[in-house]
Amino acid sequence: MTEVLALIPARGGSKSIPRKNIQPFAGYPLIAYSIAAGLAAETVTRVIVSTDDEEIAQIAMRYGAEAPFLRPAALAQDDTPDLPVFQHALDWLSAEEGYFPEIVVQLRPTSPLRKTAHIDQAVYRLLDHPEADSVRSVCIPFQNPYKMWRIDEEQYLRPLMNTEFAEPYNMPRQLLPQVYWQTGYVDAVWAETILEKGSMTGDRILPLVLEPGEWIDIDSPDDWRRAERLLESGEISFESLGFYIREDNW
């Protein structure tokens, strides 16, 4: 069986929503949703939370994840990218446990309403295409970047993109190239891509295309309230997500 590590990055600091990762979301800590989804996915063999925060680590373990290490504070800053966090986790697991997963799945806590089926689809897609470096979830965006603008130094609008089209912003969107927005909902990557290529994606990235309504990212209090209402109203159910949240009895 392929060893697949679901790694959930969850630092203690958060500016938009303080202590976001462990704030109650529809009755459970936000991080519990990603833990439960990882535990329920048939392809995932281990679920680990990478955090710099002892309280987050304790809550993560209470909901079934492992937290075998605390991430250094230097890797838990506002501007810390994903790569060194994942390199640290893989290096620690290799050095301390002799553990070498083949595939790493990133499950961000800010996507609590993630379907386990999509986790498995990402992993199976990577397994079916060993020549690829990673799989990244994407969707069709509401606005096509061919129609986007920037403001120049003289305060005039200029097209964001230099393209083969004379005036793409005046064209029907149906005539523009199809583009995709990365959702951050689920990413699957070979461990060797992280360790040997020094990248979270590599060069050969396969898409997992989602419908726009299939993913939710929480980045603000308004996002939080909208997402919570979807679950509390029954529009989204645990059954449809493919997991249930259970607190371990310590």
pLDDT digits (tens, 9 = 90+) for 203-248: 999 999 998 778 788 988 999 999 999 999 999 999 999 999 998 7
- Mean pLDDT to the nearest integer, 176-190: 93
Task: List the domain range (segments joined by +) for residue 58.
Answer: 4-138+182-241
Task: State yes or no: pLDDT of 59 exceeds 90.
Answer: yes
Residues 121 and 216 grouped into a single domain: yes
What global pTM score does this model have? 0.92
Alpha-carbon span 201 to 132, nearest angstrom: 9
Q: Which of 8-12, 34-38, 139-143 has the lowest mean pLDDT?
A: 139-143
Domain assignment present for residue 248? The answer is no
Residues 85 and 166 grouped into a single domain: no
Whichever domain contains 126, its CATH number is 3.90.550.10
Domain assignment present for residue 247? The answer is no
**Residue 250 confidence (pLDDT):** 43
- Mean pLDDT to the nearest integer, 71-80: 91
Domain assignment present for residue 11? The answer is yes
**Residue 126 confidence (pLDDT):** 98
Residues 129 and 105 grouped into a single domain: yes
Domain assignment present for residue 166? The answer is yes
Residues 108 and 164 grouped into a single domain: no
Residues 186 and 237 grouped into a single domain: yes
Task: State yes or no: pLDDT of 249 exceeds 60.
Answer: no
- pLDDT higher at 69 or 14: 69
Residues 166 and 74 grouped into a single domain: no
Q: How far is CA 25 from CA 127, 179, 227, 235, 247, in A?
A: 33, 32, 9, 16, 15
Residues 160 and 229 grouped into a single domain: no
Residues 37 and 89 grouped into a single domain: yes
Q: Give the tens place of pLDDT for each residue, 90-99.
A: 999 999 999 9
**Residue 156 confidence (pLDDT):** 96
Domain assignment present for residue 207? The answer is yes
- Total domains in the chain come to 2
Backbone angles phi, psi at 38, to 5 degrees: -65, -40
Assign 111 a pLDDT band (cuts: 50, 70, 90): very high
